[in-house]
Amino acid sequence: MKQPMLRKLGVSSAISLLAVTAVHAEDPIDLTIVSWGGAYTESQVRAYHDPYTAVKDHITIINDDGSANALAGLRAQSMAGNVTWDLVDMLPSDAQLACDEGIIMPIDHDEMLAPAPDGTPASEDFLPGSLGECFIPQILYSTVITYNTEMFPANNQPDSVEDFFNLEDFPGRRALQDRPAGSLEWALLADGVATEDIYDVLATEEGVDRAFAKLDTIKDNLIFWTEGAQSPQLLADKEVAFSTGYNGRIFNAAQVEGQPFDIIWDGQIVEWDGWVVPYGANQEEVLEYVYWATDTQRLADQAKYISYGPARASSAPLVGEHADLGIDMNPHMPSNPANYQSPIVLDNDFWTDYGDELRERFANWMLRG
């Protein structure tokens, strides 16, 4: 009678054999990673996804461009008890709401994220204010006002938020994202409110009314965009003279595609963007991926493909040239000192507290004739 395999080989030999077998025959795993699409997702694919799956060839990453509606999508999946997303790229204010609602995982930053190369723990290496209870930042980016240089005379090019609202000196249609965050801040800045006072003013009923009144002055010349790719396309087609947009999308259109766009860095809306892990996700594999994809080198690598600043201090010195264009990426970063002279840092606590109410009012305002 044959002995059981474990006894025949001996316990230690059997365990070694199983370990080797596991390394070479891991079950295939699909990870659905949700992001914003376009040039941004491409930068993640090249900096994170492809290098990771080249090493872990049993992993297949499925890209889903659903981040524009990430919070609603997570809520719906959670309520249905059918979570199909494994990792979601999300804005911090939405991440905090999802965290408060218990549909995404809290993150122990120093336990779950890699330290810096010199041993600095993650909680001290990620830039101040970027980490959230359930939020792992990747990048610092900004929403900016940009314009098609061919639609204005060479001696009369716009250079400020006020110019976006100045129809007399800078005529033409404008495109604005269909969300209040950024739009209301710019309206107050253009109406004379100092950058440091914007959220104090916006926290009052009178301040909200003032912001909407300023937006009313350009309402007849506005069209609205939802997806990040729409902004540069509207400018390229000359359907609008100005558009708000993500600085990385505009960089890609201008530097890679050669579009005649210029960025107005005045009043850039600075934000973090990063990962959240839904409850119900393939957590073991996802957390292993996140540990790798948010280390110092990987965050610096993303800056080779798009002009978003890495969220780690230790990554900044590693930012160099664009992988395809060979141009220095530092002057194109929102955090570059030449660009960071009058930023509006999006107040995520404000938008967590007031966001639902202001989104509803903004949606109704967009629909008004």
The whole-angstrom separation of Cα 236 and Cα 246 is 15
pLDDT value at position 207?
98
pLDDT value at position 141?
92
pLDDT value at position 38?
87
Q: Does residue 137 carry a pLDDT above 60?
A: yes
Average pLDDT, the chain: 91
**Each residue of 198-229: pLDDT tens digit?**
999 999 999 999 999 999 999 999 999 998 89
pLDDT value at position 22?
45
What is the β-pairing status of strands 136-148 and 261-276?
antiparallel
Contact 136, 290 (CB under 8 A): yes
Q: Does residue 167 carry a pLDDT above 80?
A: yes
pLDDT value at position 20?
37
Q: What is the rounded average pLDDT of the residues 281-288?
A: 92
Q: What is the rounded average pLDDT of the residues 44-54?
A: 97
Q: Does residue 178 carry a pLDDT above 90?
A: yes
Which two three-digit tokens encode residue 247? 């600085």
β partners of residue 328: 321
**Each residue of 103-121: pLDDT tens digit?**
999 999 999 999 999 999 9
Q: Determine the longest span between alpha carbons in the chain, in angstroms.
A: 96
Contact 122, 115 (CB under 8 A): yes
pLDDT value at position 21?
38
In sequence order, what are the residues at sequence separation of 6 or more whose Cβ sits closer than 8 angstroms to the Cβ of residue 157?
147, 149, 262
Q: What is the rounded average pLDDT of the residues 320-344?
A: 91
Q: In which band, very low, low, confident or very high, does the pLDDT at 25 lie, cut at 50, 70 and 90?
A: low
Q: In which band, very low, low, confident or very high, does the pLDDT at 272 lie, cut at 50, 70 and 90?
A: very high
The whole-angstrom separation of Cα 3 and Cα 217 is 86
The whole-angstrom separation of Cα 339 and Cα 19 is 52
Interior angle at CA 44, CA 27 and CA 289, nearest 5 = 35
Q: What is the rounded average pLDDT of the residues 308-331?
A: 93
CATH superfamily of the 26-140+273-329 domain: Periplasmic binding protein-like II (3.40.190.10)
What percent of the chain has pLDDT above 90?
83
Residue 104 DSSP one-character state: B
Q: In the chain, which residues fall in CATH 3.40.190.10?
A: 26-140+273-329, 142-270+332-367
Q: In which band, very low, low, confident or very high, does the pLDDT at 9 lie, cut at 50, 70 and 90?
A: very low
Which CATH number fits the domain 142-270+332-367, given the four candidates 3.90.1150.30, 3.40.190.10, 3.90.230.10, 3.30.70.890?
A: 3.40.190.10
Judge if pTM exceeds 0.95: no
pLDDT value at position 12?
34
